[in-house]
A and B are shown apart, each in its own frame.
Chain A
Amino acid sequence: MKRIAVALLFFAGLLLIWELAVRSGRWSAVLLPSPIYVAEYIWYALLDGTLIESTWVTLKRLLVGYIAGVLIGLPLGLLTSTSQFLEDTLGALALGFQTLPSVCWVPLALVWFGQTEGAMLFVVIMGTVWSVIIATDHGARNIPPIYARAARTMGSEGFHKWTRVILPASLPFLVSGMKQGWAFAWRSLMAAEIYVTILTGFGLGHLLHYGRELNAMDQVIGIMIVIVVIGLLVDRLLFSPWERFLHTRWGTNLKEG
């Protein structure tokens, strides 16, 4: 309870400093709108549905692409962990592409898929898949060998071994890899949405883009806040439960719950 109060106080303080900066008159109200106007924008955008709709469009792209990326990355990562050959080939490829900022996929996606949902999906998958491959590979390779031996003596083999021993045992690596994949996907999708207009749906990135075109800084800042809030919510809802699980089960202190 005390922690929540401290956080609330901190953010209230930030808003206050912001409002005071606006009132000082040093900056043009067009460039730096008052937090009240930003709040107003968010409120009306919520009421007329544009915010909900574009959030839904963005999240749908993100979730579909992310889930596809994880579903592709997990088995590939497990595969590269099993053989030196795959590690030296596919593993090296994954490592290379992981260092590539995922925004760099956007031009290629546009040429290949045009201004379609496919391009968006491609960018998100490319942002996710390499991190997940590397984290899975790393996790599966770093399992204490004694787990695998104990499992073998108890008769765990094949599919059972992979799903009941290797995957859960590499969970600490998997969770951090999936988190990184999520961050990459989220960033690259925003870049893609700002970069290209796709008629099948206006996402948050588009609202941000048009806010700039219209010189509506209350919209730009409002959308930025929404993006931050979504990022925080996803972290809390999607990853915190896993991190808490790791914390209580492994006794590690990856993150305070």
Chain B
Amino acid sequence: MEVLTTVSSETRLPKLEIEGVSKWFTPKRSLMVQALDNVSLSVTKGEFVCLLGPSGCGKSTLLNIIAGLTKPDDGRVLADGKVIEGPGRQRLVMFQESALFPWLDAFGNVMFGLKLKPDLTNAERRKIADEYLDLVGLEKFKHAHIHELSGGMKQRVALARALAPDPHVLLMDEPFAALDAMTRDQLYDDIQRIWMESRKTIVFVTHNVREAVCLGDRIVLMSPSPGRIQQVFEIPLPRPRDINSQELAAYASKIAAALKGTANGASSE
């Protein structure tokens, strides 16, 4: 257990600082639900952090707040030392559904974000879009329509679209949850390879323990009602990690036990 909780001795610049963030929702007029309660977390540059927890623990809400799509009711989030006021091109989001635009082809979707980036010529944009489609292995499907792509291919295009404008931070909201296991395993390899090459800061939301252990440098375990950080685990396994390996399974079972505790705690409330 001590291996899991040791704090990284390496002191690097914080890329994201989440300071005492709270968020309430009012699903009905008379009902007020606290989604996040005083959550604080620091993410260093180039780190891969997984937010793990059962549904209702506020992990997606926290991601949306980091993205600038939702405002916190209390506390603040800083990116590079500046308070986040709204969405920014430095923090791109990949959603559970691909959110690709059906009126554009795969290439057009990757170009969408690039066109909003000034200081690039159109030739440069096209070259970058080609490179990223190449990176996710879809160069042959450049002009495919979105509905013709499989679920896994859609998420690859979405990944290329999020990476192409070269954001500092990539925010991923259960991007593989709707995919079949084989496609997912392939994407774990890809996302690790791409992360090792690009060293983006990634915040990855999931409820899948193995997925979190496979991808994260750190796993932030959250508990529901209200959403709080329960425990933080360091995963010092070497990369690239194989989701089916023994060591990974050992970590996963420990974290799964802790996760079970948070879920039980919530249901007994």
Residues of A participating in the B interface, judged by any CB pair closer than 8 Å: 144, 146-147, 149-156, 160, 164-165, 168-169, 171, 248-251
Residue of A nearest to B165 (CB): A154
B113 at the interface (CB under 8 A from A): yes
A147→B101 contact, CB < 8 A: yes
Does B93 lie within 8 Å of A168, measured CB to CB? no
CA distance A165 to B68 in the complex (A): 19
Whether B69 pairs with A149 at a CB distance below 8 angstroms is yes
Main secondary structure of the interface of B (DSSP, over half): loop
B18, chain A: closest CB distance, angstroms: 18
Residues 89-114 of B at the A interface (beta carbon under 8 Å): 89, 91-93, 95, 97, 99, 101-103, 112-113
Q: With A146-B97, A150-B95, A154-B165 as given contacts, are A251 and B103 in contact (CB-CB < 8 Å)?
A: no
- List residues of chain B with CB within 8 A of the CB of A251: 102, 145-148
**Is B67 an interface residue, CB under 8 A from the partner?**
yes
Please give 4 more A-B residue pairs, beta carbons under 8 A apart, in addition to A153-B67, A154-B116, A169-B103.
A149-B95, A150-B93, A156-B116, A249-B102
A residues less than 8 Å from B69 (CB atoms): 149, 152-153
A176 CB → nearest B CB, Å: 16
- Chain B contact patch, size range: 20 to 34
- Would you call B236 an interface residue if the criterion is a C-beta within 8 Å of the partner chain's C-beta atoms? no
* Residue in B closest to A251 when the chains form the complex, CB atoms: B147
- B20 contacts which chain A residues (CB < 8 A)? none
* Closest beta carbon of chain B to A127's beta carbon, Å: 28
From the candidates A150, A160, A171, name the one contacting B99 in the complex (CB within 8 A).
A150
Q: Give the CA-CA distance A19 to B69 in the complex, in Å.
A: 69
Would you give the shortest CB distance from A252 to chain B, in whole angstroms?
8
Asked whether A168 lies within 8 Å of B148 as measured between CB atoms, the reply is no
Contact partners of B165 in chain A: CB under 8 A: 154
Tell me if B88 is interfacial: C-beta within 8 Å of chain A. yes
Q: Which of B67, B87, B91, B147 contacts A250 (CB 8 A)?
A: B147
Question: Given the complex, which residues of A lie within 8 Å of B112, measured CB to CB?
Answer: 151, 154, 156, 164
Q: Which residue of A lies closest to B147 (CB)?
A: A251
Chain A positions within 8 Å of B147 at CB level: 249-251
Contacts of A152 in B (CB 8 A): 69, 87
Once the chains are docked, how many angstroms separate the CA of A146 from the CA of B67? 14
Known: A249-B147, A251-B145, A251-B147. A153 touches B92 (CB 8 A): yes
